[in-house]
């Protein structure tokens, strides 16, 4: 698939609707907890402004039921203004109001505006033609720079692209190019690491990766479900029993598939809780698996040391709580230190990498979680197709 690159278009004097992904959490003080997704869109915004465009940013945040203040994009403005280095006008009114039309028409080249959370509008997630036409009326062309949302056929992602010319932003283009290397000819040995709690989104991906990668390493709740499917007791550990039948289809005797041989357990998921190392198969009835153990980390480290390509999505345990962050943190640093092509994605994974201060050592950090997983499965991503040559 070849994407239509916005850098090949003349944008001087044109209004450009840029779909971004600013779906970030804020602190009690109202500031973004992580600015990675905001920073990732700055190259596209800067390029458009440098070439004389009017920039109108569109994003969602959370899953609001109607117009809910806690999901407003307004708290992101100070950070966004600092990153862009110029004023950003916030347009808070509903998109169908005359005030929005007037505000957009008043914008001049070199100016930036941010619309309120697009999920406040009915029809965004249903790809409403009415909403798509309304958004398209604000601009001469559209740019998709929201890879993390490109697996969703929403109005602001695919609907607008049916109404006006649509192109890929610099971030979307790089996401596509970097991840495509994993589907084509990755440098081998190619190692894939999967963890986290969203098991249902990854089971099918494991099967696909076993065909493409040289080794697949598992951790987190994903590994718990597979252990349980094999008949191994996991105590009170988190798993998805509804997926046991599907998980049983993944044979742990496959030489390419590695699951934990030892784990860290505790009876409480709290900071500094009493904990112990347990061999897999000897987990107490009241214990829960909260991290991979030292032998597992040693095994995974030896596999990574031989790799020329590593892709990672999902932490190895409850990385937000000390001491159950050790496995994930150690893994981030091992990959970071090793000279290989290293790609990681998913909100929790990136957060863990930042906490380990290993982010600058990775080749590429993808802003996509679900989108990255679906891309690696080889699935059709509507947002990419909308800006691709056909």
Peptide bond connecting 189 to the previous residue in cis, omega within 30 degrees of 0: yes
Instruction: Reply yes or no on whether 378 is catalytic.
Output: no
Instruction: Reply yes or no on whether 306 is catalytic.
Output: no
Angstrom distance (rounded) from CA 54 to CA 71 = 25
Question: How do strand 54-58 and strand 88-91 relate by DSSP bridges?
Answer: unpaired
Start-to-end CA distance of the chain, whole Å, equals 9
Nearest to 319 by CA among 281, 358, 364, 271: 271
Cβ–Cβ < 8 Å for 148, 384 = no
Instruction: Reply yes or no on whether 370 is catalytic.
Output: yes
Please, how many CA atoms are within 13 Å of residue 12, restricted to the half-sphere of its CB? Answer: 1
* Per annotation, catalytic residue among 159, 347, 368, 369: 347
Instruction: Reply yes or no on whether 347 is catalytic.
Output: yes
Other beta carbons within 10 angstroms of residue 253's beta carbon come to 6
* Per annotation, catalytic residue among 198, 202, 258, 341: 198
For 80-83, the CB contacts below 8 A with 24+ separation are 80/22, 80/38, 80/114, 83/35, 83/38, 83/39, 83/42
Q: In Å, how far are 48, 104, 348 from 111, measured between CA atoms?
A: 10, 10, 34
Q: In what order do the strands lie in the sheet with 15-19?
A: 88-91, 112-115, 54-58, 15-19, 141-144, 166-168
* Per annotation, catalytic residue among 4, 15, 19, 37: 37
Nearest to 169 by CA among 6, 23, 389: 6
Query: How many angstroms from the chain centroid is the CA of residue 198?
Result: 13
* Per annotation, catalytic residue among 62, 110, 301, 370: 370
Enter the tokens of residue 107. 């914008």
Angstrom distance (rounded) from CA 179 to CA 374 = 11
Helix (H, G, I), strand (E, B) or coil at 120: helix
Among left, alpha and beta (phi > 0; psi -120 to 50; other), residue 30 is: left
Cβ–Cβ < 8 Å for 345, 314 = no
List the catalytic residues.
37, 198, 347, 370
């Amino acid at each position: 698939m070849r994407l239509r690159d916005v850098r090949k278009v003349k944008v001087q004097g044109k209004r450009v609707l840029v779909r971004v992904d600013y779906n970030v959490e804020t602190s009690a003080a109202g500031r973004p907890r992580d600015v990675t997704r905001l920073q990732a869109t700055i190259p596209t915004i800067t390029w458009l402004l440098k070439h004389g465009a009017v920039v109108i940013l569109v994003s969602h945040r959370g899953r609001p039921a109607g117009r809910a203040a806690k999901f407003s994009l307004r708290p992101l403005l100070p950070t966004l203004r600092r990153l862009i280095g110029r004023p950003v006008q916030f347009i808070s009114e509903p998109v169908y109001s005359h005030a929005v039309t007037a505000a957009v028409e008043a914008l001049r080249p070199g100016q930036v505006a941010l619309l309120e959370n697009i999920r406040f509008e009915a029809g965004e997630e249903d790809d409403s033609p009415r909403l798509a036409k309304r958004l398209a009326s604000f601009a001469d062309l559209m740019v998709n720079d929201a890879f993390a949302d490109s697996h969703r056929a929403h109005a602001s992602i695919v609907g607008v692209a049916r109404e006006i010319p649509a192109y890929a932003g610099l971030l979307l283009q790089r996401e596509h190019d970097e991840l495509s290397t994993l589907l084509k000819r990755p440098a081998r040995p190619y190692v894939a690491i999967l963890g986290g709690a969203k098991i249902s989104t990854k089971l099918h991906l494991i099967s696909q990766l076993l065909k493409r990668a040289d080794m697949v390493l598992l951790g987190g709740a994903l590994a718990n479900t597979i252990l349980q499917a094999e008949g191994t007791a996991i105590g009170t550990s988190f798993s998805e029993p509804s997926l046991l039948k599907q998980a049983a289809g993944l044979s742990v005797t496959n030489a390419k598939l590695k699951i934990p041989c030892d784990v860290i357990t505790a009876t409480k998921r709290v900071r500094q809780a009493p904990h112990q190392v347990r061999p897999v198969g000897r987990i107490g009835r009241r214990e829960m698996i909260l991290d991979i153990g030292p032998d597992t980390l040693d095994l995974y480290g030896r596999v990574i040391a031989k790799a020329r390509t590593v892709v990672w999505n999902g932490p190895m345990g409850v990385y937000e709580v000390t001491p159950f962050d050790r496995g994930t943190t150690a893994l981030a640093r091992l990959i970071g230190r090793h000279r290989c092509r290293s790609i990681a994605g998913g909100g929790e994974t990136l957060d863990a990498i930042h906490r380990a201060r290993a982010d600058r050592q990775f080749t590429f950090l993808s802003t996509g979680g679900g989108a990255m997983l679906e891309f690696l499965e080889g699935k059709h991503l509507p947002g990419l197709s909308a800006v691709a040559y056909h």
